Chain A
Amino acid sequence: MRSGKRILEEQYLEMRAKILALAADFDRIQRAEEGTATLADPRLNDLRACLHIVLTDEAPNRAERVQNLLSDKTPPPPYQSEKIRKS
């Protein structure tokens, strides 16, 4: 099994590039017309919450928790087999 240190050596430049790309994405939005107001878009707030999971939270399964944070949590519409199961 590869060590964490080795994986970091292999991946670091790619990780650095990814976070720079994201930083530049936020800058590009801000520079655009109505950009500052757009920074309050709920989708960007979701991404900020994702970054909190990635960068400041030491718990594992970050990818799974980011996926869950970005998932619709409203209840499903009623459906036939659910009615049968509950009857």
Chain B
Amino acid sequence: MKLIDPHIHCVSRTTDDYLFMSRCGVVAVSEPAFWAGFDRSSASSFGDYFHHLLDVEPKRAARYGIEHFSWLCINAKEAENVSLAREVIKLIPPLLSHPRVLGVGEIGLNKNTANEITIFEEQVEIAAQHNQLILIHTPHLVDKHKGTDIIISILKNDPRIRPERVLIDHCEEHTIRLARENGFWAGLTIYPVTKVTPQRGVDILEQFGPDMICVNSASDWGESSPSMLVDTLREYRRRGHSEAEATRVFYDNPCRFFGQSEKWTLK
């Protein structure tokens, strides 16, 4: 069965992870720009990071038969430094035409501060001006519901933003309604401790139905794993869902969302 991991930070993963994904049937991944685990000192550091995402990582993935696409932005955490964030944002528009860029992301909020919101609004503006898909990072833990509410309020307030071209990621039990009822795609990130477990992820799929939901591992430099995607698939199948239903969730849904970009090549 073919799978897509719609959100994974391959720059932080080993070649063993690529090999694992390839063996499990992962044929494509999408990698949003994110926080590297430390605050970068200059915009040029982001320039190098974007080069890594767009030109280096696709070649690395291709060795394992995996198509690699990216999203560009300054992440919510480093957006707290508004002057640096604005320098980074200037780097983005010329790169949006790169054949491996699907859109702007993962933009959003971290601690729901005024500075983060300012930079989020400015990156929504970039996406709107350039008619880009948007991938949204919602905050973690105690800040998630409030941050998701602010993000959706901002997106709904802009008539240029079509909700079906936006994926609100890291949804959980208390935020998925906000995303779905406002017409957005929802992402479920499967993490062992701090987000959604495979069992809870499948609970959400069963309660809300599989439409407009993408399941991802969001594997990065922390405690996370590409195996979370496969474990969720196994739990989904264990509960009696057919292979066709699983294909719809773990392959067709990402294809439908990403397929709104003409650069997405998988059918």
Contacts and interface: CB of A to CB of B under 8 A. Distances in A.
A78 B121 CA distance: 12
B113 A77 contact: yes
Contacts of B121: 79-81
A63 B200 contact: yes
Interface of B: 112-114, 117-118, 121, 141-146, 149-150, 153-154, 157-158, 172-175, 200, 203, 239-240
A85 interface: yes
A83 B240 CA distance: 49
B144 A71 contact: yes
Contact of B117 (A67, A79, A84): A79
B227 to A, nearest CB: 19
Q: Which of A2, A71, A82 has the most CB of B within 10 A?
A: A71
A16 B172 CA distance: 24
Nearest to B141: A70
A76 interface: yes
Given A76-B112, A76-B150, A80-B118, A63 B145 contact: no
Contacts of B113: 77
Given A2-B240, A64-B173, A81-B157, A73 B118 contact: no
Contacts of B240: 1-2
A71 B145 contact: yes
B121 to A, nearest CB: 5
Contacts of A68: 145, 174
A25 interface: no
27 contacts: A2-B239, A2-B240, A61-B173, A63-B203, A67-B145, A67-B174, A67-B175, A70-B141, A70-B142, A71-B144, A71-B145, A71-B146, A72-B142, A72-B143, A72-B145, A76-B117, A76-B146, A77-B114, A79-B114, A79-B117, A79-B118, A79-B150, A81-B154, A82-B153, A82-B154, A82-B157, A85-B157
Nearest to B203: A63
Contacts of A73: 146
B142 A71 contact: yes
Contact of B154 (A63, A67, A78, A79): A79
Given A71-B144, A79-B154, A81-B157, A63 B173 contact: yes
A64 B239 CA distance: 22
A79 B146 CA distance: 14
Closest 5 CB pairs of A and B: A67-B174, A71-B145, A77-B114, A64-B173, A79-B117
Contacts of A82: 153-154, 157
A40 B140 CA distance: 25
Given A67-B145, A79-B121, 12 more contacts: A2-B239, A63-B200, A71-B174, A72-B143, A74-B146, A76-B149, A78-B114, A79-B117, A80-B117, A80-B121, A81-B158, A85-B157
Q: Which of B142, B174, B239 has the most CB of A within 10 A?
A: B174
A69 to B, nearest CB: 9
A57 to B, nearest CB: 15
Nearest to A65: B174
Nearest to A82: B153
